Structure 1
Amino acid sequence: MKSLLIVLFVAVSSLTSYGQDTSTMNGTYVGYVDGAYVFSDSEGYNAEFTNITDNVANEFDLNSQKFVGKQFMITFIVDTELDEDDEEIQVSTIVKLLMPI
């Protein structure tokens, strides 16, 4: 199953600690699906993140079912890479997760 990566709706903020522009979104964790961490926003759009930093992975075990259905504020970066067909693709990496109190 391939979900549509929607990043046009996110607010852009600049955090210099990551060395590049970051974006943020609020979303509900759907689960780890086909090699991607999937979050759904309030309008039902799914966002897929193929990478996660070690710091976030150590704090949140998103491969388990523990966080499915939980709300998060996700901070992420988007890089452009070449796939096996030498076509440009966007790869999103989660760099920070916060759970609302």
Structure 2
Amino acid sequence: MKTKTILLASLLSLSLFVLTSSKPVQDTTTFVGTFDGHEDYGYNFIEVSEEGDEYTMTLQNIDESLLKTFDLNSDKLIGTKFSVTYSTTTEVEKDEDGYEDEIEIYTIVSLKKL
């Protein structure tokens, strides 16, 4: 009985350690789009809505390791279709009047050429 109690206490301690020390899972979103170039404010991809309308999705950042495989800073890949996975973070900025504004920042975390 004492052995079971010690084992159970050890498992509970281990579970608590794993739950409190693991990093939070970051949500990602994936879409298919055609690369439309890089501007100072981000990387542009053209998507088509379910209704057939085109719109531009701009992602502000890219994981640096992806730029070694896909040079999105040049014009060579414009017109290339990709499966793009990105993460979203929210930053709070103050405007010139001191009001806080939440801004979503999109970071490309995975690219697959289609």
Q: How far has the Cα of 1:81 moved from its partner? A: 0.4
3-state SS of 2:71 partner? coil
SS state of the match for residue 19, structure 1? Answer: coil
Residue of structure 2 in register with 1:74 after alignment: 84
Taking structure 2 as the reference length, the TM-score comes to 0.68
Consecutive unaligned residues in structure 1, runs of 5 or more: 1-17
What's the offset of the Cα at 1:83? 2.3
RMSD over aligned Cα atoms:
1.5
Higher percent of residues as helix: 2
Structure 2 gaps of 5+ residues are 1-23
Q: d(CA) in 2 for partners of 1:23 and 1:33?
A: 22
Pairing partner for 1:55 from 39, 59, 65: 65
Is 2:31 aligned against 1:25?
yes
Larger Rg: 2
Equivalence for 2:93: 83
TM-score (norm 1): 0.76
For 2:30, the aligned partner's letter is T
Per-residue CA shift, 1:32-89, capped at 9, x if unaligned?
1232100011231111100000111111110100100110000000111012423100
How many residue pairs end up in the alignment? 83
| Paired AA for residue 62 in structure 1 | L
